Structure 1
Amino acid sequence: MATDTRTRMIEATALLLRRRGYHGTSLNDILSASGTPRGSLYFHFPGGKDQLVIEVTRDSVADVTERLGTALAAENDPAVAVHHIYQSVGRMLEENEFSLGCPIAPVVLDSPNDMPELAEICRTAFEQWIGLLRQAFVRAGVPERRAQALALLVESSLEGLMVIARATRDRTPLLAVADEVAALVEQAVLAGNVAQRADAAV
Structure 2
Amino acid sequence: MANDTRTRILETTALLLRQRGYHGTSLNDILSASGAPRGSLYFHFPGGKDQLVIEVTRGSVADVTERLGEALAAEKDPAVAVHHIYQSVGRMLEDNQFSLGCPIAPVVLDSPTDVPELAELCRSAFEQWIGLLRDAFVRAGVPERRAHALALLVESSLEGLMVIARATRDRAPVQAVADEVAALIEAAVLAGEVKQRADAAV
Taking structure 1 as the reference length, the TM-score comes to 1.00
Map 1:1-202 → 2, pairs under 5 A:
1-202=1-202
Q: Give aligned pairs, total.
A: 202
* Runs (5+) with no aligned partner, structure 1: none
Among the aligned pairs, what percent are the same residue? 88
* Runs (5+) with no aligned partner, structure 2: none
Secondary structure of the 2:91 match is helix
* Deviation of 1:190 (Å): 0.2
Amino acid at match of 2:18: R
Deviations 1:22-73 (A, max 9, x none): 0000000000111101100010001011100000000000000000000000
Amino acid at match of 2:191: A
Separation in 2, partners of 1:57, 1:27: 16
Separation in 1, partners of 2:33, 2:61: 22
In the TM superposition, structure 1's runs of 4+ consecutive aligned residues that sit over 4 Å from their partners are none
Taking structure 2 as the reference length, the TM-score comes to 1.00
Separation in 2, partners of 1:35, 1:187: 53
Separation in 2, partners of 1:75, 1:150: 17
Separation in 2, partners of 1:47, 1:200: 59
